[in-house]
């Protein structure tokens, strides 16, 4: 399913597709269909980390910023933790993605990586630092852009 959010905050279901597997060819077909139906640009595309999704979007909409959904990113990070630790680690992750500014989020991300959870679970630092940095930049850049840029008139 593709959901579009316009500059004024209105939401529209752009389409629902059913396919046996969601590979690069499928997403490329979906992006081309959206372009042909009038979508001019995508500022930020959020997905669940499927292979081929970022490439398909940027092939059709080259200026789009592609992010992993925070729920999927958090679940991935928490999958390395024991059940007893998940609540505490989730609390630390929320402090990162709920930060008010890009600087505060980057600082919290660094603190997480240097802290006890980052030291105990080093594989988690890399996806957080890669996706987190992208998310931090995009989230705060998107809020700073004017409505025309969000609507696609770059």
CB neighbour list of residue 78: distance below 8 Å, 6 or more residues apart: 86, 89, 90, 93
State mean pLDDT over 17-43.
89
CB neighbour list of residue 18: distance below 8 Å, 6 or more residues apart: none
State mean pLDDT over 134-147.
39
d(CA 131, CA 134): 5
State mean pLDDT over 65-91.
85
State mean pLDDT over 59-67.
91
Using the structure block, give the residue that is written with the tokens 């990586």: 113
- Whether residue 16 has pLDDT greater than 50: yes
For residue 143, the model assigns a pLDDT of 33
Q: How confident is the model at residue 29 (pLDDT cuts 50, 70, 90)?
A: very high
- Contact yes or no for 106/133 (Cβ under 8 A): yes
For residue 77, the model assigns a pLDDT of 81
CA angle 31, 33, 36 (to 5 degrees): 110
pTM over 0.85: no
Domain extents in the chain: 2-68, 70-139
């Amino acid at each position: 399913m593709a959901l579009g959010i316009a500059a004024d905050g209105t939401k529209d279901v752009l389409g629902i597709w059913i396919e046996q597997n969601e590979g690069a060819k499928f997403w490329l077909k979906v992006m081309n269909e959206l372009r042909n139906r009038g979508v001019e640009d995508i500022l930020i595309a959020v997905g669940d980390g499927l292979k081929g999704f970022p490439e398909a979007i940027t092939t059709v909409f080259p200026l789009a910023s592609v992010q992993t959904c925070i729920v999927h990113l958090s679940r991935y990070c928490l999958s390395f933790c024991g059940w007893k630790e998940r609540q505490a680690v989730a609390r630390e992750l929320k402090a990162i993605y709920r930060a008010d500014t890009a600087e505060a989020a980057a600082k919290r991300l660094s603190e997480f990586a240097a802290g006890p959870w980052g030291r105990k679970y080093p594989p988690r630092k890399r996806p957080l630092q890669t996706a987190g940095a992208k998310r931090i930049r995009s989230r705060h850049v998107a809020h700073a852009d004017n409505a025309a840029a969000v609507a696609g008139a770059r």
